[in-house]
Amino acid sequence: MAVQILTKVLLTPVAINACFSSQVFMRSSNLSLRSSMMTVQPFHSHNKNIMLNKFSFDPIQEQLFKENCLLVDENDKVVGYKSKRDCHTVVNNSIPLHRAFSVFLFNENNELLLQQRSRYKITYPEYFTNTCCSHPLYDHEDETKEKDNIGVKIAAQRRLNYELGIPTQEIGMDNIKCITRIHYFDKGDGVFGEHEIDYIVFIKKNVTININKNEIHHTEYVGMDKMEDFLKSLHYPITPWFHFVVQSKLYTWWKNLDQILNSPTDNVIHKF
């Protein structure tokens, strides 16, 4: 399985296998998206609304932190499991590499559903991000299945229901398209951060939404022509994984959405 580090021009077609542009992308604290307003900034795990002290969180989020994520190597091969807490705790500037997914759900008008994470989230509270971001779980046997990315798709369906209240019958496996994968690291504030091989998942469907306020503060559909102004207007930062996708290839994918949804999955892991 190929792993590609984005340090040179990618000379590939415009379709899905052309996943990322020729720009070199390096992770840094001042990396910006078209304007300084879009810069990913460190999150604050000491947020008084979330944390009473270093080890006291919202009880629902604390319970979810006990779920087990799938540990993977740099080729996305499962090598074990650890709790969400362990998979997001920074130790000696390092975080265990684990599997995740990021859903980008578009309605029939090609508008992208965005969310602002709730103030109760342990990581990146109140950050804006794509539709839904989470992990396939070791505890759910179906979510460990590899063929045709079915485990990731089942996990995405589960979290879309949990976070956004989207009925599972509204989004079938055939509606869920794994576009590509990215490998990124973000140490957050040095207490909790991210180190993931993240499946980029696209869905185009009109859906029913009933948000879980413990997970999400706010949702909004945004058209491609309004996205840049929307991001500039935000008074909160955006998550690092959303940042990387916006900066690399989101707009190209968006312009060719129907083609992308019907193209083969890109098997390269793009490393930031």
Active site residues: 133, 196
177-186 and 112-117: which strand pairing? unpaired
How far does the chain reach from its first CA to its final CA, in angstroms?
A: 17
Q: Where are the alpha helices (DSSP H) in the chain?
A: 59-64, 84-88, 150-164, 224-233, 240-248, 250-255, 257-261
Q: Is 253 helix (H, G, I), strand (E, B) or coil?
A: helix
- Any bridge partners for residue 92, and if so which? none
Q: How many CB atoms lie within 10 A of CB 138?
A: 20
DSSP state of 16: G
